[in-house]
Amino acid sequence: MEDILLIEPNYANKYPPLGLMKISTFHKMLDDCVVFAKGTLPEQLEGKKWDRVYLSTLFTFEWEETKKSIQYALTVVKDERMVFVGGIMATLMSELFIETFPTITLIKGLLNRDGTLGLRGEKCIDRLTLDYDILDDIDYKYPATDAYFLYMTRGCGMKCQFCAVQTLEPEYVPYISIRDQIAEVDKRFGPKRNLLLMDNNVLRSNQFDKIVDELIELGFGKGSTYPSPRTGKPLHRHIDFNQGLDAKLMTEHKAKRLGELAITPARIAFDHIEDAKQYKKALELCAKNGIKSLSNYILYNGEDFTGKGQYYHADTPQDLFVRMKISMDFCDALNDKYGNDGRVHIFSFPMKYMPLNATDRSFVGTNWNKKYLRAIQRMLIPTQGKGVSSRSFFKADFGTTVEEFIENLAMPEDLLGLRGHFVERSTETKEDREKRYAKWKVNHARIDEWTRLYRSLGDDYTSYVELVKDNDFSIDTYWQASTPTLRKMLIHNLSYLCILRNIEVLGTEILTYIKVEFPSLYSELLRYVIHSEHTQFSCLKGMLILQGTIFISDIIRAFIEEPYLTTNVFDALYKAQKELKKVVFDTRCLSTAIRYKVTNAISDSEFRNIMRLGLEADEKKIEMRLYKKYKQIRETLREQNQDEIQEGIKSPIEHNGFIPLESTLPHIMNG
Ligand code: SF4
């Protein structure tokens, strides 16, 4: 009996690792002890040495996480040659693995032959039942587990240049019965509700009718149900050909047969704009045959490809928008024609193309750039991986026209995430709603301003795209902007901290822009420094150099308008002046006034009056005003302290983390 460890690297994965689940079944048949880990083992199993460690791999861009797991496996195995690494990436990039980890044993391709792992009595592991029990070994929860995960065909044969299937499954197998595997799962783990068929191209099978017949016989015909294990109520079952159905091979007969199944959704790839006609034809055949839940994969960021016997051009951002719009428009047309007994829904899933040998996610297609790719990721966040189906969402998120879509791709990422209508929340107070609305208005003013500038460029918008294409918004990029409009637009890509830190070098052109042309940004910068408890003096220096006391007055005015009693801006302002060796106003007295206010030693109106005196930059007047209150405050605080000491709790001064009042007024006391 051997100790077997199975590891899936610690990346997010929608489906459990089927290869490892089958290997587990085999080792359990040998009476071995099998444990499954996601990334690393839990603490209680640390220090144990394993006879064999199997590690699955998936996408090539997960190389870093995969490497970490192999390094870990090598530390927990008795003999380094007994680390077996297989799966998609191991097959596609075997040389990289061998070069990086020369002692491991690499398994290329499928485990569909006897003896692939060199084990005693080993049969074809690929046809074994999945061991669902191993999923209980880990805390990670796969989104899909209440399903049979099976293949009824293998391979594809369409030879699309960008696709890994021709390497992973070079031979097309037109039919694999799943009857026995389902019976075995039912016996060992109980029946599963859904069926996930991971076939690459089931429509190519010359035994397609046999496949459909078997699925119906196994209880996955249209409308079939399954009793809920919790309530016993019947639940609809679903079949999902999750790798998609090939539009080019969809025929009237096959669509009719698919319509006999509990298929939800029918996934049809729309990888290339050149396929629009056959894509629409496949959708129509599905809708006509009663398949109302449809979805697509829309590949973007691609290159020139060959496949399915033809040539495809590298896609453009415009193509992506058009393909999504075609789906949306065609969905409406299908509903007009076939929607009487239930509406047709099409969910679009844009999928970023990455080359088969990419070891990270940084690949940029010929007609794309990093900024646009980042924007797409941002636009897809609200969909939470569920695809785009509603037209109103599509219009609001992607745009109503191709031009608007391109404009959105160019928009600063922060602004992109702030678009959308103001939505009232029933749970919030009126005050909170007003605050949120005020913030929403400010954000939308920034979006409108950036849009105004962008549109003013006209056809020259490309000069802006040229600047932002690398998604690098450092000050160096700013210096490459050749016109005032471009410079103003770039400002909206910088964080407030970055603007403040660099305002001196950005100079009066930008200062005038943010104070005069678009003052809302200046107000936000003031708000930013006031509403931070940790304002750094270094980010105030540039404004002081450019504006001197005007900046100090602006901060005081903004503070009076919206006081924030835990600010440290006045101490930071003093420090910034000191650093510049030009203290024109010791703003620390305003910090002292804030402390008085926090302890309720002065009234609101007195506090405001003191702050207004700050506008005259006369700290003596302020100090005298505070000094007058000093005795009275000391008494109040003593009384408060006494009460609280009697109650056995901390004094409010200590409680608030303040230093004793006397020490906040050293210059007054000494004076
Ligand atoms: S049809 Fe699909 S599975 Fe087949 S090679 Fe092309 S992309 Fe790959």
Q: Domain-by-domain residue ranges, the chain?
A: 1-140, 147-264, 268-396, 411-482, 483-670
Does position 1 have pLDDT exceeding 50, yes or no? Answer: yes
Instruction: Using alpha carbons only, give the angle 216, 219, 223 rounded to the nearest 5 degrees.
Output: 85
For the residues 444-465, what does the mean pLDDT come to?
A: 96
User: How would DSSP label each residue in 641-657?
Assistant: HHHHHHTTS--HHHHTT
- Which residue spans within 308-382 are E strands per DSSP? 310-312, 345-352
CA 378 to centroid of ligand 1, rounded, Å: 28
158 lines ligand 1 (CB under 6 A): yes
CA 471 to centroid of ligand 1, rounded, Å: 32
For the segment 528-581, what is each residue's pLDDT rounded down to a tens digit? Answer: 999 988 889 999 999 999 999 999 999 999 999 999 999 999 999 999 999 999
Q: Which CATH architecture has domain 147-264?
A: 2-Layer Sandwich (3.30)
165 lines ligand 1 (CB under 6 A): yes
Q: How confident is the model at residue 229 (pLDDT cuts 50, 70, 90)?
A: confident
Does position 234 have pLDDT exceeding 90, yes or no? Answer: yes
For the residues 373-380, what does the mean pLDDT come to?
A: 96
Q: How far apart are CA 444 and CA 448, in angstroms?
A: 6
CA 159 to centroid of ligand 1, rounded, Å: 6
pLDDT of residue 662: 40
Q: How far apart are CA 583 and CA 208, in angstroms?
A: 85
Could you tell me what percentage of the chain is helix, strand and coil, using 3-state DSSP and rounding each to the nearest 5?
Answer: 55, 10, 35
User: How would DSSP label each residue in 531-592?
Assistant: T-TT--THHHHHHHHHHTHHHHHHHHHHHHHS--TT--HHHHHHHHHHHTT--SS-THHHHH
CATH topology for 1-140 is Rossmann fold (3.40.50)
Q: At what angle do helices 604-614 and 588-598 cross, to 10 degrees?
A: 180
Amino acid at 412: P
Q: Of ligand 1's atoms, which has the minimum distance to the CA of residue 166?
A: 5
pLDDT of residue 311: 94
Task: Please provide the average confidence, as pLDDT, over all residues in the chain.
Answer: 91
For the segment 200-224, what is each residue's pLDDT rounded down to a tens digit? Answer: 999 999 999 999 999 999 999 999 9
Q: How confident is the model at residue 385 (pLDDT cuts 50, 70, 90)?
A: confident
Q: How confident is the model at residue 173 (pLDDT cuts 50, 70, 90)?
A: very high
Q: How confident is the model at residue 230 (pLDDT cuts 50, 70, 90)?
A: confident
- Out of 92, 198, 246, give the residue to mutate to test ligand 1, the one with the largest number of ligand atoms within 8 Å of its CB: 246
168 lines ligand 1 (CB under 6 A): no
CA 625 to centroid of ligand 1, rounded, Å: 80
CA 254 to centroid of ligand 1, rounded, Å: 18
153 lines ligand 1 (CB under 6 A): no
135 lines ligand 1 (CB under 6 A): no
Please, are residues 91 and 43 in contact by the beta-carbon 8 Å criterion?
no
For the segment 571-619, what is each residue's pLDDT rounded down to a tens digit? Answer: 999 999 999 999 999 999 999 999 889 888 889 999 999 999 999 988 8
Please give the model's pTM, rounded to 2 decimal places.
0.87
For residue 80, what is the DSSP state?
G
pLDDT of residue 200: 96
Q: How confident is the model at residue 475 (pLDDT cuts 50, 70, 90)?
A: confident
CA 163 to centroid of ligand 1, rounded, Å: 6
